[in-house]
Amino acid sequence: MKRLTGSIVAPVAVLALAAGLTACSSDGGGSSEEGGAITVWIMGDTGTAFEELAAGYTEKTGTDVNVEAIPWANLNDKITTSIASGSGPDVIQIGLSVLPTLADAEALLPLDDLLGDYPALAAENFADAVAGEATQIGGQTLSVPWVADTRVLFYRSDVLAEAGFDAPPATWDELTETATALAARGDGQYGYYIPQWDSSLPVVWTWAAGGDAVDAEGNVDFDNDGFEDMVDLYTGLYADGLVPTNSDFDQVQGFVTGITPMLVSGPYLAKSIEDAAPELDGKWAAAPMPKNVDNTSLFAGSNLGIWHNSSKVDESLALLDYLADPEIQLDWYDKVNELPTNKSALADPRLAEDPNVAVYVETLENARVVPLVPNWDSAVGQKLTDALNAIVLTGADRQSTLDAFFAETDGLAVQ
């Protein structure tokens, strides 16, 4: 507990003050150092690997790269303070769900007139789900694709085989059927795992059931048949006791011990499984998402943008250009297992050598980004998981809970 009076008041006020002060000062600068180095914000724990990757750029252009690793958990605070103070990096890695927030704050430099000189950054080089118009905000190109991430079905082939299933479920019906059989293995055994904090899963399932999260006018609207089908599946898995109900369930442990032999997750899960249980090699695999109307999945990942008042625009563009190169993108995949967004890198046979990666790449072809709404994760995603969890965990009335959720999120405009 905090004893300081105004522990909440103070930071808000300080931010407001900082914004007021910088509004008075000149708008130039950025945090770039005098020596000519450009500052890059890299999210998560891949900062060190990025320094190695950027060494090639420094060799080629003579511009030093100063990498700052920003933990995902600090991202929002970091962005808010740098917007308030007016001093950001030169280049920033932007998670796709954060892009509209940054655009809303006018934190990114519009790139439309600048990309002409850099053919490697042309929209046609990148996966369609994130290229060009797909991630434009208000008709402006504010970022270029960098790494890709998606959602696939992970399953324990040995556990499924024991229960009499030779192949992973390919449809929603098969998913429920397989999960039911697996949950019947005994007490404390489940068929499937739903991460209660993951708001992308219900959105992906809504898409797969032919629904959408956005109406024809470009406003958030979940009130459609596909969404209802998703809710049926989601609540059904809980109602039949096929998934664990505790929110602190460890998905890696659940998968490794076989308690939850199936779940939908991203390639990062594969890495965690390999690290946690190398002895399971060959007893699990990734499969495409089970299909309803289709098997649309999520195109997550990150773009790269240039901070609005960077004084090193040319050097920054050159870095984006360098990073868009298929060889560099594949090199990055080797370093940290983040998938490329460059089409020819994605088509490279080196990626297809690993059957799991082949599944990721195939899934990316039919994957979509979440609607580009500012604060998507907090303003929509969290409310979506809250509504679903209220129904399945506390027995809240389905219709009234969903109606309240629709009322809360309806009309939020996609940028």
Partner 1 sequence: MALTTSAIPPRMKKRRSVTSAGATPYLFLSPAMLLLCAFGLLPILVAAFVSFTDLNIKGLANWSNVQFIGIDNYTTLFTDAAFWSAMGNTAIFVVFGVPVIIGVSLAVALMLNYSQTRFFRFLRAFYFIPAITAIVAVALIWGYLYNTQFGLLNYLLSLVNIPPLQWLSDPTLAKFSVALVAVWRATGLNIIIFLAALQGIPRDYLEAAELDGANSWKRITRIILPLMRFAIFFVTVTTVISWLQFFDEPFVLTEGGPLGATTSISLFLFLEGFRLNQFGYASAGSLVLFVIIIVATLVQLKLRKADDEY
For residues 107-136, which are near partner 1 according to CB under 8 A? Answer: 107
Q: Give the shortest CB-243-to-partner 1 separation in angstroms.
A: 13
Instruction: Of 131, 133, 129, give the one whose Cα is nearest residue 120.
Output: 131
Is 1 among the residues that bind partner 1 (CB under 8 A)? yes
- If the CB atoms of residues 259 and 264 are measured against partner 1, the closer one turns out to be 259
Is 235 among the residues that bind partner 1 (CB under 8 A)? no
> Which residue in the block uniquely carries the two structure tokens 């039911």?
180
Per DSSP, the three-state class of 198 is: coil
Q: Give the shortest CB-20-to-partner 1 separation in angstroms.
A: 7
Task: Answer for the pair 373, 138: CB distance below 8 angstroms, yes or no.
Answer: no
102 vs 306: CA distance, rounded Å: 11
* Binding track over 174-213 against partner 1, x by CB under 8 A: ----------------------x-----------------
* Binding track over 20-59 against partner 1, x by CB under 8 A: x--x------------------------------------
- If the CB atoms of residues 16 and 167 are measured against partner 1, the closer one turns out to be 16
- If the CB atoms of residues 7 and 48 are measured against partner 1, the closer one turns out to be 7
Is 407 among the residues that bind partner 1 (CB under 8 A)? no
265 vs 200: CA distance, rounded Å: 10
Is 246 among the residues that bind partner 1 (CB under 8 A)? yes
133 vs 131: CA distance, rounded Å: 6
DSSP string for residues in 273-293: HHHH-GGGTTSEEEEPPPBSS
Single residue of 228, 313, 375, 398 touching partner 1 by CB under 8 A: 375
Instruction: Of 145, 52, 39, 41, give the one whose Cα is nearest residue 93.
Output: 41
- If the CB atoms of residues 8 and 161 are measured against partner 1, the closer one turns out to be 8
Alpha-carbon torsion 383, 380, 303, 287, what sign? positive
For residues 250-269, which are near partner 1 according to CB under 8 A? Answer: 250, 253-254
Is 239 among the residues that bind partner 1 (CB under 8 A)? no
- Strand 262-265's sheet: what is its strand order? 262-265, 152-156, 284-287
Single residue of 68, 232, 331, 386 touching partner 1 by CB under 8 A: 386
Single residue of 55, 161, 347, 393 touching partner 1 by CB under 8 A: 393
Is 216 among the residues that bind partner 1 (CB under 8 A)? no
Is 6 among the residues that bind partner 1 (CB under 8 A)? yes
136 vs 23: CA distance, rounded Å: 27
147 vs 341: CA distance, rounded Å: 5
Is 15 among the residues that bind partner 1 (CB under 8 A)? yes
- If the CB atoms of residues 16 and 184 are measured against partner 1, the closer one turns out to be 16
* Max CA separation in the chain (angstroms): 70
Residue 271 CA: distances (Å) to CA of 43, 260, 404: 18, 17, 38
Is 7 among the residues that bind partner 1 (CB under 8 A)? yes
List of residues 6+ apart from 162 with CB closer than 8 A: none
> Which residue in the block uniquely carries the two structure tokens 């850099």?
118
Residues in contact with partner 1 by CB under 8 A are 1-17, 19-20, 23, 76-77, 79-80, 83-84, 101, 104-107, 196, 245-250, 253-254, 374-375, 378-379, 386, 389-390, 393-394
